């Protein structure tokens, strides 16, 4: 046996590192003298140490290495692990490249002009939040200020009646891709401090809705002061930064409006836009990460809650909130398979409302018995499916569907076998965190 100092010299690894690996359970001494405390290693342990160092050089974390040391990896499994690591490294390089572009952009602005009014743009993330809001299409942008004030007063009044606490910050969401003078689709709301379902506040004359606003991984944000005056310049600055730094917008613009601390203080508005790294998105497509698996799935029966419409007011998000609450109350469905949660989307053959569809949030069951009140049953036949993985947050989901229907399907040699698709939420789904994944099933047949 070798004392730790000799083993350290032979392996060309510091004693501090060997002790750290022992603490983590990666590589323990073959023997520790119980009287002197000396640590002894065997030459054969060099094989394990070299394996640790090789995996570390390939950018595996020490936690990952600890798990990998427990199993005898086949060449095929190791190849897959290395491919996954290569993709992760590529994404990291893209992130660093994007950061470099942002630094160069700021330098260019400073070279052109040094202006104290220059509004820096910062990338932020936003967690899942509970929102009480009102959404409406206004005849003109001139109606916005008065409408916003009236709605906030109505929201505050209703929340006070229900003993619900909210933040003083308000959020304004523009549900449109471009600026409009007329037919402005806008939503105003307050963030609730405690997540709580209050169905009695919904479907009222003031159109108040309470729902979960999904998390966003990347928000391009900048600060505007002085109310609504000259806010168009701030939007233009944010748009220019987004394009110059290689991002694409993936969701509606937002304004967080902070209450001034003093009566004479200017209002602070944080202008936000959900974005995604364009290079990363298109590289993802080129790396075939968006290429689907073609599978055949047996017929199944779904029991769940139904919504019909265009999802103009985040009704699907509210539907899932209600479904999860009902499941907690009744303790699950009779004959539930435990396979996954499924969101089934069906477009009627004859559409009574242009663009409307049915969405059922539910669980698959073996037999539809003892169906709870207000729940519906849907039977889905066996189909061949193209199965796509959506990774990341909710706002980027639109880009995934855009790729599926506008790029992949027209070039695939397949056509839709039925006017349905469904979302499959299994253990890979982590509530739209950056590593969250769920699956989109598209029934197909050869053209």
Which residues have CB under 8 Å from 214's CB, separation 6+?
128, 317, 393, 394, 395, 432
Query: Do the beta carbons of residue 215 and residue 432 sit within 8 Å?
Result: yes
User: Which residue among 34, 49, 68 closes a domain?
Assistant: 68
What CA–CA distance (Å, rounded) separates 194 from 154? Answer: 19
Shared domain check, 191 and 52: no
Shared domain check, 48 and 79: no
Domain that holds residue 64: 2-68
pLDDT in tens, the chain (447 residues): 778 888 888 878 888 889 888 888 888 888 887 666 778 888 888 888 888 887 887 778 888 888 777 766 566 666 777 777 777 777 777 777 777 776 776 666 655 554 445 568 888 998 888 899 999 999 998 899 899 999 999 999 999 888 888 888 899 999 887 777 888 899 999 999 865 555 445 444 468 888 888 889 899 999 888 666 678 888 888 888 888 888 888 888 999 988 776 666 777 889 999 998 877 766 655 554 578 999 999 999 999 999 998 887 788 988 998 999 899 888 889 899 999 999 999 988 766 667 789 999 999 999 998 899 999 999 999 999 999 999 888 888 888 888 888 888 988 999 999 999 999 999 999 888 878 899 999 999 998
How many other β-carbons are positioned within 10 Å of the β-carbon of residue 297? Answer: 16
The CATH code of the domain that includes 130 is 3.20.80.10
Shared domain check, 166 and 94: no
Shared domain check, 102 and 168: no
Q: Let me know if residue 160 belongs to a domain.
A: yes
What CA–CA distance (Å, rounded) separates 49 from 214? Answer: 44
User: Which residue among 115, 141, 176 closes a domain?
Assistant: 115
Look at the chain and report how many structural domains it folds into: 4
Q: Let me know if residue 254 belongs to a domain.
A: yes
pLDDT at 348: 82
What CA–CA distance (Å, rounded) separates 154 from 188? Answer: 11
The residue among 417, 395, 394, 398 whose CA lies nearest residue 406 is 398
Shared domain check, 360 and 257: no
pLDDT at 203: 45
Shared domain check, 225 and 126: yes
What CA–CA distance (Å, rounded) separates 163 from 181? Answer: 37
Shared domain check, 83 and 34: no
Give the C-alpha distances (Å, rounded to integers) separating 28 from 18, 45, 51. 8, 9, 14
Give SS3 for 37: coil
What CA–CA distance (Å, rounded) separates 189 from 255? Answer: 11
Q: Let me know if residue 56 belongs to a domain.
A: yes
What CA–CA distance (Å, rounded) separates 184 from 141? Answer: 6
pLDDT at 331: 87
Q: Let me know if residue 283 belongs to a domain.
A: no
Q: Let me know if residue 251 belongs to a domain.
A: yes
pLDDT at 199: 44
Shared domain check, 247 and 174: yes
Shared domain check, 272 and 250: yes
Q: Let me know if residue 281 belongs to a domain.
A: no
Tokens of 444: 């197909």
pLDDT at 206: 60
Give SS3 for 246: coil
Shared domain check, 440 and 296: yes
The CATH code of the domain that includes 52 is 1.10.1660.10
The residue among 363, 362, 357, 339 whose CA lies nearest residue 401 is 357
Shared domain check, 392 and 345: yes
Shared domain check, 76 and 63: no
């Amino acid at each position: 046996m070798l004392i730790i100092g000799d083993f350290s010299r032979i392996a060309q690894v510091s004693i501090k590192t060997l002790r750290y690996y022992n603490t983590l359970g990666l590589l323990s001494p073959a023997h520790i003298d119980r009287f002197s405390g000396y640590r002894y290693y065997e030459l054969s342990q060099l094989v394990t140490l070299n394996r640790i160092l090789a995996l570390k050089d390939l950018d595996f974390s020490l936690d990952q290495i600890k798990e990998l040391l427990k199993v005898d990896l086949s060449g095929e499994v190791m190849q897959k692990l290395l491919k996954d690591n290569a993709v992760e490294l590529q994404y990291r390089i893209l992130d660093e490249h994007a950061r470099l572009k942002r630094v160069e952009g700021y330098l260019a602005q400073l070279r052109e002009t040094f202006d104290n009014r220059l509004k820096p743009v910062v990338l932020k993330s936003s967690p899942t939040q509970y929102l009480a809001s009102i959404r409406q299409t206004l005849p003109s942008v001139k109606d916005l200020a008065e409408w916003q004030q009236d709605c906030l007063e109505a929201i505050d009044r209703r929340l006070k009646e229900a003993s619900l606490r909210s933040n003083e910050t308000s959020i304004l969401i523009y549900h449109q891709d471009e600026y409009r003078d007329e037919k402005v689709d806008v939503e105003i709301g307050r963030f609730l401090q405690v997540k709580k379902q209050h169905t009695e506040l919904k479907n009222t004359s003031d159109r108040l809705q309470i729902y979960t606003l999904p998390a966003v991984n990347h928000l391009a944000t900048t600060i505007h002061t002085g109310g609504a005056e000259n806010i168009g310049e701030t939007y233009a600055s944010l748009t220019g930064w987004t394009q110059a730094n290689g991002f694409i917008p993936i969701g509606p613009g937002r304004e967080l409006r902070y209450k001034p601390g003093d009566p004479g203080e200017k209002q602070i508005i944080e202008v936000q836009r959900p974005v995604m790294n364009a290079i990363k998105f298109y590289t993802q497509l080129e790396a075939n990460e968006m290429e689907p698996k073609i599978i055949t799935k047996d017929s199944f029966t779904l029991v769940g809650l139904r919504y019909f419409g265009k999802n103009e007011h985040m009704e699907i998000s509210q539907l899932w909130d209600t479904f999860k609450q009902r499941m907690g109350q009744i303790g699950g469905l009779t004959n539930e398979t435990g396979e996954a949660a499924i969101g089934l989307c069906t477009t009627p053959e004859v559409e009574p409302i242009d663009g409307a569809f049915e969405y059922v949030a539910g669980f698959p069951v073996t037999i539809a018995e003892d169906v709870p009140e207000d729940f519906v049953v849907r039977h889905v036949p066996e189909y061949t499916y193209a199965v796509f993985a959506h990774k990341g947050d909710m706002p980027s989901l639109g880009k995934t569907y855009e790729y599926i229907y506008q790029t992949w399907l027209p070039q695939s040699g397949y056509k839709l076998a039925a006017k349905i698709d469904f979302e499959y939420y299994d253990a890979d789904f982590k509530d739209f965190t950056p590593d969250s994944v769920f699956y989109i099933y598209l029934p197909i047949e050869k053209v």
